[in-house]
Amino acid sequence: MRSDRAKKGLERAGARALIHACGITREQLDKPFIGIANSFSDLVPGHIGMRRLQRAVELGIAAGGGVPLNFGVPAICDGVAMGHLGMFYSLPSRELIADIVESMALAHALDGLVLLTDCDKITPGMLMAAGRLDIPAIVVTAGPMMSGRYEGRRLSLVRDTFEAIGRAQAGEITEDDVAALEIEACPGQGSCQGLYTANTMACVTEAMGMSLAGSATALAGSAKRERFAYDSGERIMELVNHDITTRQIITESSVRNAIRIDMAMGGSTNTCLHIPAIAHEAGVDIELEVFDQISQATPQICSLRPGGEYMMEDLDWAGGIPAVLSVLSDMLDDNPTVSGKSIKEIAAEGRVVDNDVIRSVDKAYAPEGGIAVLRGNLCSDGAVIKQSAVSEKMRTFRGQAACFDREEAAMASILADEIADGSWIIIRYEGPQGGPGMREGLNPTAALAGMGKAETVGLLTDGRFSGGTRGLCIGHISPEAAAGGLLALVQDGDEIEVNLDERRLELLVEEGELERRRADWQPPEPKIKTGWLARYAKNVTSAASGAVME
């Protein structure tokens, strides 16, 4: 056992004394030590129910013959951190989480890991650690939140709170309505109800084979969710006993399957950061262009919020990820999973219960997947858009730039209704290096949608978006402005053209003029000069490569 190096031999007497001080018996020293990387938090709705899941995991591990050992992992709620200093820390926390799990697993010589997670950066951070460590590991997500209810209609976080700000600003609803929506939109524990980043990553994790079949969509707080936690505790013991390690599961095939499911469901653009980062840690090379290649060959068979009207509860009742896999079975690469079954076996067992929530290929919502990767002089290394959340009339768009060097300035201008129809809002110096930390820009995108401008105004940024963003919102522009990318040279009034069908994004300014501007350009002073974010800014790579740390 890997843990023997920390607990066996005469020279480990001192270590054993400390282990016994934790309540572990002599008999337990002969059993595998299983770490539970537990991201429980009172601060994050997706994580507040994890104590019960932790208990179920512990019981499963013990039943399987192991010793469950909990340790803590941080969790940031992007919705709470949004729009202020806190969002600088969100994406970088992914690296912290990976480093913490690695540190604990190696320092305490753990034989296996159960990764108890749910929200946006926590799940990919855990998976990055698993790929880096290459020891037996299994992911347990805490599940999606139920929809809210108000005046007879279903509610979800983004559309009914963040977008409500714009609707109130436009005079469509009152501040009393907003207050009522705040109370009712999020009824309890779980990750936000639509196919935003947290739930996208849960679905991607299941499709990648790193969690049990059906577990991504089981609702938070349900007995079904607790049973998955218990079964995962038992299953990690089988993985340990047979030394089935993470890199046997996370392969090029499983990564491609994960991307295909993401495209078929219309998931979050943040997967274009997280999947390459996970693959990188597992020794798999995946270029950004692969997302677009798979997207163009994959029909979109689900339409969940923000782009559609269905929610995660509907997807679960319709058959969950096994049902989605069953529709796409012929497009999948076979690959082992932590369940002991191959992905094709799971697909063969999947059953679609609702043919509108999960459509057949011939009746797909769209002929292509949810994400498109754009190229052009403005994004020579690529840019990303959730095309499934863009109206047909905005798939080609030409407009004039209104430039802002940080999100707060753009937000103030949007709420003051200063952005003319036919404009491009440019928000720059928000990339991995320039942010630092590539803040999520849900506030401005939701305000635009709430004010009814999703079909008249576009938004471009080297930052990123919430999975809840809809409209013509293009992010991850690389190279970023802080690194001298062309985005830094855009001026108010410049014309920019996008054609999603051609995957093209162009700044329509003559090259001679751009050369004159570049000669005058100076890199901006770092926004944050102290603390670990200053170190992060110096070492983080481009969004085009997953914003991993060098």
Query: What are the catalytic residues?
Result: 466
d(CA 261, CA 239): 25
Q: Can you name the residues that pair with 138 across neighbouring β-strands?
A: 114
**Cα dihedral across residues 529, 531, 536, 538: positive or negative:** positive
Q: What is the β-pairing status of strands 137-141 and 112-117?
A: parallel
315: how many CB neighbours lie within 10 A of its CB? 25
Instruction: Evaluate whether 346 touches 214 at the Cβ level (below 8 Å).
Output: no
d(CA 454, CA 459): 10
CA distances 373 to 387, 441, 461, 501, Å, are 9, 19, 14, 11
Q: Which two tokens mark 186?
A: 């999020």
Indicate left, alpha or beta for 147 from its phi (over 0: left) and psi (-120 to 50: alpha): beta
CA distances 54 to 49, 316, 393, Å, are 9, 22, 48
Instruction: Evaluate whether 386 touches 469 at the Cβ level (below 8 Å).
Output: yes
Q: What is the β-pairing status of strands 371-374 and 382-386?
A: antiparallel
Asked, as a colleague might, if the bond just before 306 is cis with ω within 30 of 0, I would say yes
d(CA 282, CA 284): 6
Upper half-sphere CA count for residue 332 (Cβ side, 13 Å): 26
Q: Can you name the residues that pair with 155 across neighbouring β-strands?
A: 148
Instruction: Evaluate whether 509 touches 462 at the Cβ level (below 8 Å).
Output: no
- Per-residue HEC secondary structure of 506-520 comes to EECCCHHHHHHHHHH
Cα three-residue angle 119-124-125, rounded to 5 degrees: 100
Instruction: Evaluate whether 125 touches 93 at the Cβ level (below 8 Å).
Output: yes
Q: Which two tokens mark 513?
A: 């003029």
Helices and strands (H, E) in the chain, number of each type: 22, 14
d(CA 394, CA 152): 32
Taking the CA atoms of the chain, what radius of gyration do you get in angstroms?
23
d(CA 417, CA 432): 29
Q: Can you name the residues that pair with 374 across neighbouring β-strands?
A: 383
> In what helix (H) or strand (E) does residue 414 lie, and over which residues does it extend?
helix 407-415
